[in-house]
Structure 1
Amino acid sequence: MAKHGKKYQESLKKIDREQSYEVEEALRLVKEVAPAKFDETVEVAFRLGIDTKRADQQVRGAVVLPHGTGKTQRVLVFAKGEKAKEAEAAGADFVGEEDLVAKVTGGWLDFDVVIATPDMMGQVGKLGRILGPRGLMPNPKTGTVTFEVAKAVEEVKAGKIEYRADKSGNIHAPIGKVSFDTEKLVENFVTLIETLIKAKPAAAKGVYVKNAAVSSTMGPGVSVGTSRFIGR
């Protein structure tokens, strides 16, 4: 079992581990007990009642958080011709074709999000073993394989995040920074959980959102009650 430092232990004393807090109170606590001197990321974890072994119970997608994540995303776009120009105009950090494919093949990974036009996927597909394990492979389900490259770039820059349930049915996602106002963190949380509820697989039975917790990068988790969102 991992050992935590003195600051973490002090933070833990301020949290009732047996209680599920309302969203607003939970996020206020996260901000209050964040132990690090840097501006920590605020993260949320959901445990979903899904069977990820079944193809009809996969939960994956993307959502634009109203207040972003507080992180500037470096966007790479694989496109050519007019679509490349559109991507550049929209603020993409890197735009190219075979030249960028070769650069990534050589080990360059100085980017956070990858977008590609469908006609480039033949080339981008060769990068599957590099991008896939890092969660960077473009996918139509998350809107990163599209001819609407300008819109895709603008959404990422505005605070779009991707979510995907892991093998245990858990979803982890950033919803802002400790420096954010509590109200902004709450709005980001609500946007994400409502998106997940809408994405509930028809085949999933029983309790869908089993539990949720919020935390800062270095701080302890705070349990969040989600009953108010169920049935929306």
Structure 2
Amino acid sequence: MAKLSKRMRTIREKVESTKAYEINEAVELLKELASAKFKESIDVSVNLGIDSRKSDQNVRGATVLPHGTGREVRVAVFTQGANAEAAKAAGADIVGMDDLAAQVKAGELNFDVVIASPDAMRVVGQLGQILGPRGLMPNPKVGTVTPDVATAVKNAKSGQVRYRNDKAGIIHTTIGKVDFEAAQIKENLESLLIALSKAKPASAKGQFIKKISLSTTMGAGLSVDIATVETK
């Protein structure tokens, strides 16, 4: 049997795997156990009461977290004319059309989020095989295809997270860093949960938010007592 690392021994000693933690207790414990040499993220997994095999029960969208994610995001915008100037003024890192498409085709993907105005989709549509597998393809459902590119850029820069359930009906995303205050993580989590509740498919019956788990980049996962957070 492989010898457990000091980190894993500490986690096993302090984490009760069968316990649903009060939200603030969960965050403080995660912060205590975060011992990596880099600033770890705090991630959340939310099990939804949906049948992901049914297309009308899949959940997808985006929301801006009140305290951001603690991550610096580079934004590329496909647009032109006045919209290009508006995107630059809003803080976009890269703005272009055919020239930006050429960069993407050459493998220069120096950005984390791609936004496009509707008129630019004729160009962006040709990049689906490159952007799609990387989760970068703009989509109106998450607000990244929009005539108001300036607002989309500001949202991306200020801590917007995109969410989409996986085949098991679980949402995975980041809600902050271990140096955030517990109250900030709680408010970010509640903001996400409220957004998810608003996105509940009409055909989904019964309890919608079934389980919440928090974890750090290199740490263990903790189950959160749903009763200790606002979900609506």
Q: What TM-score comes out, normalization by structure 2 length?
A: 0.95
Report percent identity of matched pairs. 52
Give the CA deviation at 1:227: 3.5
8 Å CA contact 1:40–1:217 kept in 2: the answer is yes
Q: Which amino acid aligns with 2:34?
A: A
Give the CA deviation at 1:225: 1.4
8 Å CA contact 1:44–1:213 kept in 2: the answer is yes
Q: Which residue of 2 aligns with 1:183?
A: 183
Q: Which residue of 1 aligns with 2:155?
A: 155
1:222 corresponds to 2:213: no
Would you identify which runs of 4 or more consecutive aligned residues in structure 1 move more than 3 Å? 2-5, 227-232
Q: What TM-score comes out, normalization by structure 1 length?
A: 0.95
Where do 5+ consecutive residues of structure 2 fail to align?
A: none
Deviates further, 95-104 or 203-212 = 203-212
Give the CA deviation at 1:167: 1.3
1:41 corresponds to 2:55: no
| Superposition map of 1:89-100 within 5 A | 89-100=89-100
Give the CA deviation at 1:4: 6.4
1:193 corresponds to 2:193: yes
Distance 1:70 1:8 in 2: 26
Q: Which residue of 2 aligns with 1:207?
A: 207
Q: Which residue of 2 aligns with 1:78?
A: 78
Secondary structure in structure 2 of the residue aligned to 1:13: helix
Deviates further, 66-75 or 7-16 = 7-16
Q: Which residue of 1 aligns with 2:65?
A: 65
1:56 corresponds to 2:53: no
Q: Deviations over 1:176-204 (max 9, x none)?
A: 00011111111101111111111111101
Distance 1:104 1:3 in 2: 45
| Superposition map of 1:124-139 within 5 A | 124-139=124-139
Q: Which residue of 2 aligns with 1:111?
A: 111
8 Å CA contact 1:20–1:223 kept in 2: the answer is yes
8 Å CA contact 1:86–1:150 kept in 2: the answer is yes
Distance 1:28 1:118, change over 3 A: same
Q: Deviations over 1:118-143 (max 9, x none)?
A: 00001101111111111111000111
How many residues align structurally? 231
Distance 1:148 1:46 in 2: 30
Where do 5+ consecutive residues of structure 1 fail to align?
A: none
Q: Deviations over 1:81-138 (max 9, x none)?
A: 1100100011000000001111101111111000000000011011111111111110
8 Å CA contact 1:46–1:212 kept in 2: the answer is yes
8 Å CA contact 2:73–2:157 kept in 1: the answer is yes
Deviates further, 206-215 or 162-171 = 206-215
Distance 2:126 2:107 in 1: 13
Distance 1:100 1:82, change over 3 A: same
Q: Which amino acid aligns with 1:108?
A: E
Distance 2:110 2:120 in 1: 20
Q: Deviations over 1:157-177 (max 9, x none)?
A: 111110110111111110000
8 Å CA contact 1:8–1:218 kept in 2: the answer is no
Q: Which amino acid aligns with 2:148?
A: E
Distance 1:82 1:231, change over 3 A: closer
Distance 1:27 1:65, change over 3 A: same
Q: Which amino acid aligns with 1:50?
A: I
